[in-house]
Structure 1
């Protein structure tokens, strides 16, 4: 496949006209002019904007069935508040219609995993949004281990924030001893080995400012890799968070109402403040915000003062880096997966559907 006259908008390339040659599901060549020597299918972009597939670093796609009610909700295990051995890929349902809605909107990749009812919820996966069988859609089955502080585990287990922090510390201490060879096989501790070794991050759900500080405190105590997910109350301790610029911030969902007290700081104005001077990811927490509205979230952040390129990278290369998949995804570069979206107008500035969506070199939408 050959895409001609593409106005490329990507990390590393900004609004330059190029041709893109795709072969075997990969981007083989990007150049000013590529001749059609093999009678390839040609898509003439006619100077329209061409971007990498968009990426969301925090969703529950396929785990909470659309319109199906609580019985079909698979994202929160109710039998154990510490459940690191659970894997998202064992419950993600690609037949849920939210996948088709996402891919048609140009979101080709996302993180999907357990919810925030449990202190340790299980293993998040990185998946493509196109396919029928999850095994063929997985980019990485274990990109991080979900943890949660605040209202959700507090409600589920009738405990306090002190109790949640204590249980988390106790379990991390147990995992630390297990890593050092203390004790017999334990499926929960075994699942935590990549976290304790610093190979995978603890993906910590936090909203309120004090929960954010607790997450940082505990992660630093155990010297583990981690991300802060949501961070809606982060602007209340902005100076403290900005003093720790190495922490990946996954900001959102910022669209919609405030369904609980700890969402007091939910706003795009606060997203802009938290993004100042650092790279961030913008997330939908789908289905909290349907995944197809990820570009609208980035557009709203821009409307409140976020730099355009920063917002664009917050839904492309930054989530790819956070998930450790930047060698394959997140930008248009030779050798990367051919996940490509064509837009009639510059994306994020107007509400629009893509003209064409390509995933792994296959045309999913458009012709």
Structure 2
């Protein structure tokens, strides 16, 4: 048993405890208390003067798939041979040896969503995982977590260059509809085949991957920057009664009422970098704040490697600079991100029974001078800075 005592606890699930305690037993949080009176037999770590929070969550990355250092050798982000690849699984491309995982961990990011890129109309299945673990299978929190779908510039640029469909936004939308209709028809055939084996269709991995989407079991992760593309995505999700979260949402601030009315969350970003393409023309730091004030659930992304994953908290600070409330910005990289990704039962806040993913910071989490000093994942000390050098390798098991 491990007890972090005397720290300022920002649990993201209740009041701030100025001098509280987090108790960890095994892989789970056992208690969060406003008092620093540890249970008998607990090993103590004094975090006086420090901030204690749940590990940060990056709600959209390509970590482990678009590897640091490597070019073609480690870039498995986009399968640009076919615009419809729902059967691709992020799990089969992730390299836990990617340096990005260690960097993110040392930046306080303990959970990420990672998956295919946006070259294809339908790119494949993303997952949620921890940034600390021996193998990707051990690190997985939720798989699949959603199906990547892209509208806008990317598919038409990639396939237009090959002189094949989609070459227009109309074709992109049509291809998406065709795939969804085919999945519905496949589901009907499977149902008929339950009672009549002769009518059972041949197994189709592409259509099979779409079944949890049309059943509403996992969301469409809709890559859309421009407002017209966002609206096209909403139109299609309304037609097929899909769950959806908007990814990037660069111009989502122009239609917050449409998103709030439908209860559709937006994973905004990344906020840093130049306007590398036309779709980013109206990018503004104000977007996440406008959405949050309108009642839209907001998370933030680095889109690693676009912005290195360890800088997630800096993006939250930029959102505050753009007008977002501090509490909303912190939620956007903790509990909101967990809820949008469907893993809030395990991560995103410090509460009894949840995974013991805890970070200790030298100062306020949105102060760019703040250092990450201690990171605990699943109850294990995954990183200890100089202030806690004496506990390295000494955690209780």
Q: Same fold (TM over 0.5)?
A: yes
**Displacement, 1:24?**
1.0
Which residue does the alignment assign to 2:120? 118
**Paired residues for 1:1-367 under 5 Å:** 1-16=2-17, 17-31=19-33, 32-38=35-41, 40-158=42-160, 159-181=167-189, 183-244=201-262, 246-278=263-295, 279-366=297-384, 367=388
Indicate how the Cα distance of structure 1 residues 266 and 67 shifts in structure 2: closer, same or farther if over 3 A, else same. Answer: farther
Q: Deviations over 1:21-56 (max 9, x none)?
A: 111111112222433422x32110114210000001
User: Does the 8 A contact of 2:9 with 2:21 survive in 1?
Assistant: no
Q: Deviations over 1:166-205 (max 9, x none)?
A: 1100110001111112643211111111111101001110
SS in 1 for 2:125: strand
SS in 2 for 1:216: helix
User: Does the 8 A contact of 1:110 with 1:126 survive in 2?
Assistant: yes
Counterpart CA distance in 1 for 2:292 and 2:347 is 22
Counterpart CA distance in 2 for 1:155 and 1:67 is 26
User: Does the 8 A contact of 1:88 with 1:113 survive in 2?
Assistant: yes
**Displacement, 1:267?**
2.1
Indicate how the Cα distance of structure 1 residues 29 and 236 shifts in structure 2: closer, same or farther if over 3 A, else same. Answer: closer
**Displacement, 1:94?**
1.0
Structure with greater Cα Rg: 2
Q: Alpha carbon RMSD of aligned pairs, Å?
A: 1.4
SS in 2 for 1:284: coil
Q: Deviations over 1:217-264 (max 9, x none)?
A: 0010001111111010223444444443x0011111111111111111
TM-score by length of 2: 0.89
- The aligned length equals 365
Indicate how the Cα distance of structure 1 residues 358 and 21 shifts in structure 2: closer, same or farther if over 3 A, else same. Answer: same
SS in 2 for 1:46: coil
TM-score by length of 1: 0.96
